[in-house]
Amino acid sequence: MSYYFTILSPTDTPIFNIAFGTSKSGGDGIARFRFPDTAQYMNQFIIHSSLDIVEETQWTNGGMYLKHIDTYPPAAAYISAFLTPSGARFLLLHQPPQLPASNSSSLGASSLLGASGSTTRASSSSIAANPTSPQTEEAVRQFMNEIYESYVKTAMSPFYKQGMEIRSPVFRTKVTAAGKKWL
Protein backbone atom coordinates (compact mmCIF):
# COMPACT_ATOMS: atom_id res chain seq x y z
CA MET A 1 0.00 0.00 0.00
CA SER A 2 1.32 3.40 -0.92
CA TYR A 3 0.14 6.63 0.56
CA TYR A 4 0.18 10.24 -0.54
CA PHE A 5 -0.83 12.70 2.09
CA THR A 6 -1.62 16.34 1.40
CA ILE A 7 -2.84 19.26 3.44
CA LEU A 8 -4.68 21.77 1.32
CA SER A 9 -5.29 25.34 2.38
CA PRO A 10 -8.78 26.78 1.99
CA THR A 11 -7.69 28.12 -1.39
CA ASP A 12 -6.70 24.61 -2.54
CA THR A 13 -3.01 25.38 -2.30
CA PRO A 14 -1.03 22.48 -0.90
CA ILE A 15 0.76 23.41 2.28
CA PHE A 16 2.19 20.03 3.06
CA ASN A 17 2.94 16.94 0.94
CA ILE A 18 4.37 13.61 1.83
CA ALA A 19 4.47 10.25 0.11
CA PHE A 20 5.18 7.14 2.06
CA GLY A 21 4.53 3.44 1.97
CA THR A 22 3.13 1.07 4.49
CA SER A 23 5.24 -0.19 7.33
CA LYS A 24 2.88 -2.94 8.31
CA SER A 25 3.30 -6.53 7.31
CA GLY A 26 6.87 -6.25 6.24
CA GLY A 27 6.56 -3.02 4.24
CA ASP A 28 9.64 -0.86 4.09
CA GLY A 29 7.84 2.47 4.25
CA ILE A 30 8.64 3.50 0.69
CA ALA A 31 5.86 4.56 -1.59
CA ARG A 32 5.46 2.59 -4.78
CA PHE A 33 2.72 4.09 -6.84
CA ARG A 34 1.39 2.53 -9.95
CA PHE A 35 2.25 5.48 -12.07
CA PRO A 36 5.70 5.66 -13.54
CA ASP A 37 8.09 7.97 -11.80
CA THR A 38 7.59 10.60 -14.45
CA ALA A 39 3.90 10.74 -13.74
CA GLN A 40 3.80 11.68 -10.09
CA TYR A 41 1.51 14.57 -10.96
CA MET A 42 -1.20 11.94 -11.18
CA ASN A 43 -1.48 11.86 -7.40
CA GLN A 44 -2.13 15.54 -7.35
CA PHE A 45 -4.61 15.39 -10.15
CA ILE A 46 -6.53 12.70 -8.38
CA ILE A 47 -6.48 14.50 -5.08
CA HIS A 48 -7.48 17.74 -6.69
CA SER A 49 -10.35 16.10 -8.51
CA SER A 50 -11.63 14.57 -5.32
CA LEU A 51 -12.17 18.04 -3.93
CA ASP A 52 -15.42 17.94 -5.89
CA ILE A 53 -16.58 15.19 -3.62
CA VAL A 54 -15.15 16.80 -0.49
CA GLU A 55 -17.08 19.95 -1.22
CA GLU A 56 -20.23 17.95 -1.58
CA THR A 57 -19.90 15.65 1.40
CA GLN A 58 -18.72 18.28 3.82
CA TRP A 59 -22.24 19.68 3.90
CA THR A 60 -23.92 16.36 4.44
CA ASN A 61 -21.53 14.79 6.88
CA GLY A 62 -21.35 16.11 10.43
CA GLY A 63 -17.98 14.74 11.39
CA MET A 64 -14.54 16.07 10.70
CA TYR A 65 -13.39 12.76 9.37
CA LEU A 66 -15.22 12.11 6.12
CA LYS A 67 -13.95 8.56 5.70
CA HIS A 68 -13.29 7.16 2.29
CA ILE A 69 -14.91 9.58 -0.11
CA ASP A 70 -13.66 8.95 -3.58
CA THR A 71 -12.06 6.41 -5.85
CA TYR A 72 -10.09 6.69 -9.01
CA PRO A 73 -10.72 3.29 -10.55
CA PRO A 74 -8.10 3.23 -13.31
CA ALA A 75 -5.33 3.41 -10.73
CA ALA A 76 -7.28 1.90 -7.85
CA ALA A 77 -6.61 4.99 -5.80
CA TYR A 78 -8.77 5.70 -2.78
CA ILE A 79 -9.14 9.05 -1.14
CA SER A 80 -9.97 9.74 2.49
CA ALA A 81 -10.54 13.21 3.79
CA PHE A 82 -10.47 15.07 7.07
CA LEU A 83 -11.72 18.61 7.61
CA THR A 84 -10.31 21.09 10.07
CA PRO A 85 -12.25 24.03 11.47
CA SER A 86 -9.87 26.49 9.87
CA GLY A 87 -10.76 25.25 6.44
CA ALA A 88 -7.61 23.27 5.79
CA ARG A 89 -8.26 19.81 4.48
CA PHE A 90 -6.27 16.65 4.97
CA LEU A 91 -6.44 14.32 2.03
CA LEU A 92 -4.95 10.89 2.01
CA LEU A 93 -4.60 8.95 -1.20
CA HIS A 94 -4.03 5.27 -0.66
CA GLN A 95 -3.31 2.75 -3.28
CA PRO A 96 -3.09 -0.97 -2.72
CA PRO A 97 0.00 -2.61 -4.13
CA GLN A 98 -0.30 -3.65 -7.68
CA LEU A 99 -0.83 -7.32 -8.17
CA PRO A 100 1.39 -8.63 -10.90
CA ALA A 101 -1.52 -10.18 -12.73
CA SER A 102 -3.82 -7.21 -12.86
CA ASN A 103 -1.96 -5.20 -15.39
CA SER A 104 -5.14 -4.67 -17.29
CA SER A 105 -5.33 -0.92 -17.28
CA SER A 106 -2.61 -0.78 -19.86
CA LEU A 107 -3.74 0.64 -23.12
CA GLY A 108 -3.87 -1.90 -25.82
CA ALA A 109 -6.36 -3.95 -27.69
CA SER A 110 -4.38 -7.07 -27.14
CA SER A 111 -5.51 -7.52 -23.57
CA LEU A 112 -9.10 -7.78 -24.60
CA LEU A 113 -10.31 -9.56 -21.60
CA GLY A 114 -7.36 -8.71 -19.51
CA ALA A 115 -7.45 -9.66 -15.93
CA SER A 116 -10.84 -8.30 -15.17
CA GLY A 117 -10.95 -5.24 -13.01
CA SER A 118 -11.96 -7.07 -9.91
CA THR A 119 -8.50 -7.36 -8.49
CA THR A 120 -8.64 -10.39 -6.33
CA ARG A 121 -7.95 -8.96 -2.98
CA ALA A 122 -5.35 -10.88 -1.10
CA SER A 123 -5.78 -11.55 2.58
CA SER A 124 -8.67 -9.23 3.14
CA SER A 125 -8.10 -8.46 6.79
CA SER A 126 -4.86 -6.56 6.52
CA ILE A 127 -5.13 -2.85 6.05
CA ALA A 128 -2.86 -2.83 3.10
CA ALA A 129 -4.99 -5.08 1.00
CA ASN A 130 -8.45 -3.72 1.45
CA PRO A 131 -8.81 0.04 1.35
CA THR A 132 -12.52 0.13 2.09
CA SER A 133 -12.70 -2.21 5.03
CA PRO A 134 -13.75 -0.86 8.46
CA GLN A 135 -10.29 -1.61 9.80
CA THR A 136 -8.74 0.66 7.23
CA GLU A 137 -11.26 3.39 7.95
CA GLU A 138 -10.44 3.16 11.61
CA ALA A 139 -6.70 3.21 11.03
CA VAL A 140 -6.99 6.21 8.77
CA ARG A 141 -9.12 7.95 11.35
CA GLN A 142 -6.48 7.41 14.03
CA PHE A 143 -3.83 8.64 11.64
CA MET A 144 -5.81 11.75 10.76
CA ASN A 145 -6.53 12.56 14.40
CA GLU A 146 -2.92 12.28 15.33
CA ILE A 147 -1.88 14.53 12.49
CA TYR A 148 -4.59 16.98 13.34
CA GLU A 149 -3.10 17.32 16.80
CA SER A 150 0.35 18.04 15.47
CA TYR A 151 -1.09 20.33 12.81
CA VAL A 152 -2.82 22.41 15.43
CA LYS A 153 0.39 22.68 17.39
CA THR A 154 2.31 23.70 14.29
CA ALA A 155 -0.30 26.21 13.26
CA MET A 156 -0.17 27.79 16.71
CA SER A 157 3.47 28.66 16.23
CA PRO A 158 3.89 32.45 16.26
CA PHE A 159 6.04 32.21 13.16
CA TYR A 160 3.42 30.46 11.14
CA LYS A 161 0.87 32.40 9.14
CA GLN A 162 -2.22 30.71 7.92
CA GLY A 163 -1.92 29.42 4.39
CA MET A 164 1.84 29.23 4.53
CA GLU A 165 3.64 26.09 3.57
CA ILE A 166 4.53 23.96 6.56
CA ARG A 167 8.23 23.45 6.51
CA SER A 168 8.71 22.39 10.09
CA PRO A 169 10.85 19.24 10.19
CA VAL A 170 9.27 18.32 13.50
CA PHE A 171 5.88 18.17 11.87
CA ARG A 172 7.22 16.05 9.06
CA THR A 173 8.75 13.59 11.49
CA LYS A 174 5.51 13.41 13.38
CA VAL A 175 3.55 12.67 10.23
CA THR A 176 6.03 9.98 9.28
CA ALA A 177 5.77 8.49 12.72
CA ALA A 178 1.99 8.51 12.59
CA GLY A 179 2.12 6.86 9.21
CA LYS A 180 4.40 4.18 10.54
CA LYS A 181 2.20 3.67 13.55
CA TRP A 182 -1.18 3.42 11.94
CA LEU A 183 -0.86 2.71 8.26
Partner 1 sequence: MTSPGDAAPVKPPPSFSPGVARGTSKSRYPDEAESTHSIDAELAEARSVSSPTPPLSATTAELPIRSSSPHARSVRSSTPQLARSSLGSPFDGRFDGSEDIRSLIIRAFSPTVAIYASDDTDELVRNKGFKGGFWELVRPFGDTVSGKVVIRDSVGSSRAWEDYGVRFVDLNGFGRTPAGRESGQESSLTQMEEILEQQLESAEGPFGGSIPPKDALGVPVASPLWKLLLRQILSATSAAPHETFGHPVASVIAISSRNMAPLETLRQLYGESSSGDKRLPDWVNSEYLRYYVLVHDEERDDITESTKLYDQMKRHFGLHCHLLRLRSSQCIVTDDDSVQVPSCEWLSPQERLSGVGEAGKYSAFIRQLETNNIAETLVDLGTDGTPYLFDSDVTAIRTFIRELMVQSVIPFMENRVAVWNDQIASRRRGISGRFMSVGRRFMTFGSGSRSGATGSSGGSGNYDPTNNFYGPDSPEAILRKMADFAFMLRDWKLAASTYEMIQSDFKNDKAWKYHAGAHEMCAVSMLLNPLAMSAKIKLESVDQMFENACYSYLTRCSDVPHALRALSLGVELLKSRGGSATESAARWAMRVMDFGLVGPIGQILFTERVSACYASKISMGGAKWGGRRRKAGMWSIFAANQWLKAGNPTLAAACLEEGERLYGDVLETDGVFPIPEMQTFVDNLRHSVKVEYLGARGFDTRDEPASEDPVLTDETSEKLEKIDKRNHRRSLIGLPGQLDVGNFNMTSGTRDPENSPNDDFERA
**Stretch touching partner 1 by CB under 8 A, among 84-92, 98-106, 128-136, 149-157:** 98-106
Question: Minimum CB separation from partner 1 for residue 127, in Å?
Answer: 24
Question: Minimum CB separation from partner 1 for residue 174, in Å?
Answer: 21
Helix then strand then coil, % of the chain, to nearest 5: 35, 20, 45
Q: How many residues bind partner 1 (CB under 8 A)?
A: 37
Amino acid code (one letter) for 27: G
In angstroms, the CA 171 to CA 154 distance is 7
In angstroms, the CA 183 to CA 178 distance is 8
Orientation angle between helical segments 169-182 and 134-156, nearest 10 degrees: 160
Distances (CA, A) of 125 to 23, 33, 39, 128, 136: 16, 21, 31, 9, 9
**Stretch touching partner 1 by CB under 8 A, among 26-34, 50-58, 61-69, 140-148:** 50-58
Assess 132 for contact with partner 1 (CB under 8 A).
no
**Stretch touching partner 1 by CB under 8 A, among 6-14, 23-31, 147-155, 174-182:** 6-14
In angstroms, the CA 172 to CA 138 distance is 22
Residue from 26, 59, 123, 156 that binds partner 1 (CB under 8 A)? 59
Assess 44 for contact with partner 1 (CB under 8 A).
yes
Interacting residues with partner 1 (CB under 8 A):
8, 11-14, 40-41, 44-52, 55-56, 58-59, 73-74, 104-114, 116-117, 164-165
